[in-house]
Structure 1
Amino acid sequence: MSRAHDHDVIVIGSGFGGSVAALRLAEKGYDVLVYEAGRRFADEDFARTSWDLRRYLWAPALGCYGVQRIHRLPHCLVLAGAGVGGGSLNYAQTLYVPPKPFFTDPQWSGITDWEAELAPHYATAQRMLGVVENPCDGPVERLMRDTAVELGTGASFRRTPVGVFFGEPGRRVPDPYFGGEGPDRTGCTQCGNCMVGCRVGAKNTLVKNYLALAERRGVVIEPLRTVTSVRPLDPAHPDEGYAVHTVRTDAHRRGRRDPRAATARHVVVAAGAWGTAQLLQTLKATALPGISDRLGWQTRTNSEALGGAMTVRVPRDVDLTRGVAITSSFHVDETTHVENVRYGKGSNAMGLLAVMQVDGGGRVPRPVRFLASALRHPGDFARSLSVRRWSERTVIALVMQTVDNSIVVSRRRGWFRWHLTSEQGHGEPNPTWIPQGNRAVRALARGLERATGERSRPGSSIGEILDIPMTAHFLGGAVIAESPDRGVVDPYQRLWGYPGISVVDGSTVSANLGVNPALTITAQAERAMALWPRRGEPDRRPKQGEPYVRLTERVAAGADG
């Protein structure tokens, strides 16, 4: 590495991909700097409930620097994370290995046997994230089990694998995972507020594992810095390094942008699928025109929908909020997976996005059918608008599919600035509603009514009424491919045309998983970083355009240290 650079590697983002890159490259001897657009949170800094918008919601222009991002495209409403630790701060810590269709998707299946190649890295990711089977069991979990039986798929019911420290509830103990190298931990109290931010300290966020260990090895993390550009130091020879330009994320509050630039031989882009899409689309239009024209293609929503069953009231002896965020799941059919989701007591703000359920399809536009339903059932409509004790009387249903559908995301000039937009892409049309999911939600509502003795009705998200489904798992757009005319990064997750830049986040997930993607993003990042050489040693990865060589068996066996 040339000492002409400020750092060996600059990592953009501190979510699942960026945290893996920071730790593993530091272990290989690299000097690593991490830029994170969000703020740093201690456990006590998280919002107590989702109504504390300044700590919960991400809207810097309004002075909100929380963990929950909400973005809109014409074809979906996107929920994402923000802060040091990225999506791990507000995700539901649900860590499934995806089913076989993900590994055999035509987009990337011709490169290698991905199921076998990623297997050791899934195991590493599970160990690092502290995956255990959820022990929580209560009325919601029984409802999910009964619903699966009613739908004829009882054998598919299972408790979720989660990344949570289930020690003695509320008791703080020395690091139980990494031989004392990690931070102290506190046992889970099953308060249900995982997705608002774990104030207890039980959730295995990236701050508790990868990032904590990376900082012990000298990695520097600069929060509240937004990357605006990545430029080659010599455009004719981009392999000589890059200048990464940043400004203060909180410039609205501070009154100054404080522009800076730092240089590095290598850059790792790990800003999350949304942040990476924004950055790479801008770079292709400005500093890095050689980025593949497939940028934005194969963007996925995990073929996802959010619905739920809501009862008028809950008896005092029934607590729907007790447990971690997601505790169980079942399959409606071979492609459709349903999980229960909860928020803790008092966290009712997301209820503002909930509405009565109305099926899609047919000749009559869904907004018209929704209005007709509201007029036919004014009482149900009025109750659906109330968020009083919403988290305590609602079972949210997260529906995901392995179906091959996608959108194309691109950059468009708006009235005041550039923004991302979308259109239908490869495969089946991106679903505006999922019939199997609606059927499962109706069954949940019937079961909830039987369990509580109170009137219960199925619900949906407000975006679906406008045919804009909501997704918590925005993926793809910079997918893996054997050539730049099919994807954006090569099999080693190097940017086609700019091998000094790697992309290691959800934007490289190349197919719908049908399960929560965090474990897969982590495993793919582990594999990509395992293939990097140690600092100062030869790079055994083939040059771009040369035949793919499977290196991971030796890496997994420790041949590369």
Structure 2
Amino acid sequence: MTGYDEDVVIIGSGFGGSVAALRLSEKGYRVRVYEAGRRFADEDFARTSWNLRRYLWAPRLGCFGVQRIHRLPHVMILAGAGVGGGSLNYANTLYEPEAAFFADPQWPGGIDWQAELTPYYATASRMLGVVDRYPHTGPVERIMAGAAEDLGVGDTFRHAPIGVFLGMPGVRVPDPYFDGEGPDRTGCTLCGNCMVGCRVGAKNTLVKNYLALAERRGAVIEPLRTVVEVREDPSGGYLVTTERTGILRGRGRRTVRAGQVVVAAGTWGTQQLLHRMKASGALPGLSDALGTLTRTNSEALDGAIATRVPAGTDLTHGVAITTSFHVDERTHVENVRYGVGSNAMGILATVLVPGERSLPRRLATVLGRAVRSPIRQARLGSLHRWSERGIIALVMQNADNSLTLSLRNRFGRQVLTSRQGHGEPNPSHLPQAHRAAEAIAARLTAETGVPADARGSWPEVFGIPLTAHFLGGAVISGDPARGVVDPFQRVWGHPGLHVVDGAAVPANPGVNPSLTITALAERALSFWPEHGEADQRPAQTELR
């Protein structure tokens, strides 16, 4: 039996799903993309992070914004939502990982993965419009360079590669990237609000490249559709059931039959779906390795904040991330900023406390600071003009640590939970991050003349680190005992099912992973045959 409703259904429209939408449309497949979030025009994004309905993702509360926040016992996760996925609220920072990432033993043998992916990194960089080095220097960039010098690692300081159309600030021009086939673009105004959503139209989100080109080639994108089931059809292909995203469950439920399915719902969404389908028996062939090697990029979010807004110094001017340095060979630090008025994430910030202390002693440290210097701590902790007074330090490592995720029942629902996994324990704090935050705080004071302190986060006080780069759990492997997808990112045991998002990434890259996810997806999709032609990829039985 044939007669599929769609040749390919793609679940999610982030970096992997967008690559799949374009490349499969180019190869003649009928493609339908389901996206749980809404579609945004540039003017639809929140003006600041206080516009919670347009900024936060909480459908049951009527919030359909770009910022997802999830919590597990061992980590708090920041992710994206909407047509374009994480590109809508990521910091448009596009590094290639260093050699240690490709040396991880989880990568399937017989392939030099760094060399294999080199041309796909080049393609991804071209498609995402990477500017190799952020071209401006201001107070934040000087502070970061000084902090690196103070830590003895000044030779590692550099300006970041970014995916932004710089152009003439505020000036709209015809598509500068794809010979006029893409949308018009507007030059960056350096407002700093990249992570709230670029209202200018300068940020190279997936809506401006892969998705725009995919829709021109016939791909259909359905926003506000949540996939609730993927089931193998005994007569061939897969049955994909969706419902309307919103407060109430089960509304507008419908099922389509697809020849193949690409799962690219982001690591959280992909793991949720696959775990539930394995538990229900809808996808019985899924590997028992599902959930293992879930990575947090060994990440921490700390920073520094001044007691007041420095006169004559604008810390918000620039794109979200502009520079970085290495504290040591495996620890990478980037500055992060929000624009004027986007102060909501300051709710998470608090005193930087020694992570090796017990929880009661960490809480006592926070209380003790408040008692000893109440006025200073009130100023530091105030959300008033928070984004104008501080610098966030995003700290990432290529360390080999992981979590293992599984399902548990909570109030009659199956939800994800975590435990420590393979390798080193996933860290609850990073001493290197604390040193970096303290160095940045000292340089912030030196640059501005305003007293500043290093800052941590409330989740870290409770032993729960923050990550903006949740990865793994359905990783690439050489056999199904060690991972969920084969070297072509086909799901072991279900070769018509594919995982092409961050869930397939097998190790901590130690840098922002968006370019790597895109390059892996480009490689995986390059092996698909043209529609109607024979598949030249080896059968999974030949790979074992």
TM-based fold match above 0.5 = yes
Match of 1:170 in 2: 170
Q: What is aligned with 2:81?
A: 82
Q: Name the count of aligned residue pairs.
A: 541
Q: Kindly state the Cα deviation for residue 375 of structure 1 after the two structures are TM-superposed.
A: 3.1
Deviation digits for residues 363-420 of structure 1 (CA, Å, limit 9, x no counterpart): 5643333333433333343223310000000010000001100001111000131111
Q: Are the aligned partners of 2:309 and 2:385 in contact in 1 as well (CA < 8 Å)?
A: no
Give the letter aligned to residue 455 of structure 1.
P
Alignment pair present for 1:525 and 2:524:
no
| Residue 458 of structure 1, aligned match among 454, 460, 478 | 454
Q: How does 1:144-543 map to 2 (within 5 A)?
A: 144-234=144-234, 240-252=236-248, 257-286=251-280, 287-362=282-357, 365-543=361-539
Letter in 2 for 1:120: P
Could you say what the CA RMSD is over the residues aligned between the two structures, in angstroms? 1.3
1:365, 1:108 → 2: CA distance? Answer: 41
**Residue in structure 2 matched with residue 545 of structure 1 by the alignment:** 541
* d(CA) in 2 for partners of 1:316, 1:378: 23
3-state DSSP of counterpart to 1:195:
coil
- Give the residue type in structure 1 aligned to 2:279: A
- Per the alignment, in what secondary structure is the counterpart of residue 540 of structure 2? coil
Separation in 2, partners of 1:366, 1:64 = 33
1:461 Cα shift?
1.3
Question: How far apart in 2 are the matches of 1:292 and 1:91?
Answer: 31
Amino acid across the alignment from 2:137:
D
How far apart, CA to CA, are the structure 2 residues paired with 1:372 and 1:311?
A: 20
- Mapping for residues 4-153 of structure 1, pairs under 5 Å: 4-108=3-107, 110-132=109-131, 133-153=133-153
User: Contact between 2:17 and 2:264, CA under 8 Å: does it hold in 1?
Assistant: yes
Q: 1:62 to 1:39 in 2, by over 3 A?
A: same
Question: What SS is found at the alignment partner of 1:91?
Answer: coil
- What CA deviation, in whole Å up to 9, does each residue of 1:479-510 have, x standing for no partner? 01111110011111001100000000000111
Query: Shift of residue 109 of structure 1?
Result: 5.3
Look up the SS of the partner of 1:29 in the other structure. Answer: coil
Structure 2 SS opposite 1:44: helix
Q: Contact between 1:366 and 1:467, CA under 8 Å: does it hold in 2? A: no
TM-superposed CA distance for 1:331, in Å, is: 0.4
Give the letter for the 1:69 counterpart: R
Deviations 1:143-162 (A, max 9, x none): 00111111111110000000
Instruction: Give, in angstroms, the shift of residue 313 of structure 1.
Output: 1.3
Tell me the percent identity: 66
Whether the 8 Å CA contact 1:67–1:89 is kept in 2: the answer is yes
Identify if the C-alpha distance between structure 1 residues 436 and 251 changes in structure 2 by more than 3 Å, giving closer, same or farther. closer
TM-score by length of 2: 0.98
**Distance in 1 separating the partners of 2:313 and 2:108:** 47
* Residues 264-299 of structure 1 deviation map (CA, whole Å, 9 limit, x = unaligned): 110000000000011001010111122111100000
Decide whether the 8 Å contact of 2:108 with 2:477 is kept in 1.
Answer: no
Secondary structure in 1 aligned to 2:395?
A: strand
Residue 552 of structure 1: aligned partner: none
Unmatched 5+ stretches in structure 1: 549-561
The letter of the residue matching 1:346 is G
SS at match of 2:22: helix
Aligned equivalents of 1:65, 1:416: Cα separation in 2: 25
Q: Report the alpha carbon displacement of residue 136 of structure 1 after superposing the two structures with TM.
A: 2.4
Name the CA distance, whole Å, in 2 between partners of 1:545 and 1:325.
46
Amino acid at match of 1:67: V
Q: Is the 8 A contact 2:310 2:389 kept in 1?
A: no
CA deviation vs aligned residue, 1:332-372 (integer Å, no higher than 9, x gap):
01000000000000000000111110111145643333333
Q: Distance in 1 between the 2:509 and 2:252 partners?
A: 40
Q: Tell me, in whole angstroms, the C-alpha distance in 1 between the residues paired with 2:273 and 2:381.
A: 37
Runs of 4+ in structure 1 off by over 6 angstroms are none
1:551 counterpart residue number: none
What is the rounded CA distance, in whole Å, between the counterparts of 1:518 and 1:365 in structure 2? 37
Partner SS, residue 427 of structure 1: coil
| Gaps in structure 2 of 5+ consecutive residues | none
Q: Distance in 2 between matches of 1:380 and 1:72?
A: 31
Provide the TM-score with structure 1 as the length reference: 0.95
2:405 alignment partner AA? V
Q: Which amino acid aligns with 1:338?
A: V
Cα distance, 1:500–1:75 mapped onto 2, change above 3 Å: same
- Any conservation in 2 of the 1:251–1:257 contact (CA below 8 Å)? no
- Aligned mates of 2:108, 2:279 — CA distance in 1: 30
Structure 1 CA distance for aligned equivalents of residues 473 and 429 of structure 2: 22
Preserved contact between residue 348 and residue 457 of structure 2 (Cα < 8 Å): yes
Give the drift of 1:454.
Answer: 1.0
Query: Does the CA contact (< 8 Å) of 2:266 and 2:501 recur in 1?
Result: yes
Deviates further, 66-75 or 359-368: 359-368
Contact conserved, 1:344 with 1:392, CA < 8 A, in 2?
Answer: yes
CA contact (8 A) 1:8 1:32 kept: yes
CA deviations over 1:107-137 (Å, ceiling 9, x no partner): 1152411000000000000000000021121
